Amino acid sequence: MLLLVAIGSAIQNAQKRAEIAGRLPTGLGQRVKPPAGAIGGLLAVWLLALVLLIGAVVVAVRCNPQNPFLFGALAFFFPEIYLIQYAIRKFAIREPGYCLGMGGFGGATAGATELYW
């Protein structure tokens, strides 16, 4: 989802730059510069999307050893949705035995008798 926002923002920025360049008189040698915060904002969104994507795929592969490729692909294409369902199953529902391969990360234990934080 965030990746689609970043791509849409880049396309919209390119369209605005082309529109501005089309209104300038030709032959003046002027170069159209992007707005001051456009590149930094776009880079921040791409970086956030990359971190979110890597985190979702790692959680999917580690928490589903029976079929890591399927869940890794699912997390790759829908990272936000996968992380939301992970958080609900691990911390809200406290499903016993879910994702014990993530180390001391909190949530339910195998016996569901105690919580560790």
Q: What is the pLDDT of residues 15-34, one digit of tens each?
A: 676 666 666 555 555 566 66
Q: What is the pLDDT of residue 37?
A: 67
The confidence band for 75, taking pLDDT boundaries of 50, 70 and 90, is: very high
Decide if 57 contacts 75 (C-beta within 8 A).
Answer: yes
71 or 6, higher pLDDT: 71
Mean pLDDT for 45-63 is: 90
H or E stretch at 101:
none
Mean pLDDT for 45-50 is: 85
Nearest of 52, 108, 56 to residue 86 by alpha carbon: 56
Distance between CA atoms of residues 21 and 15, nearest Å: 10
H or E stretch at 41:
helix 38-63
Q: What is the pLDDT of residue 26?
A: 54
pLDDT > 80? residue 90 = yes
Distance between CA atoms of residues 40 and 46, nearest Å: 10
Beta bridge pairs of residue 108? 115
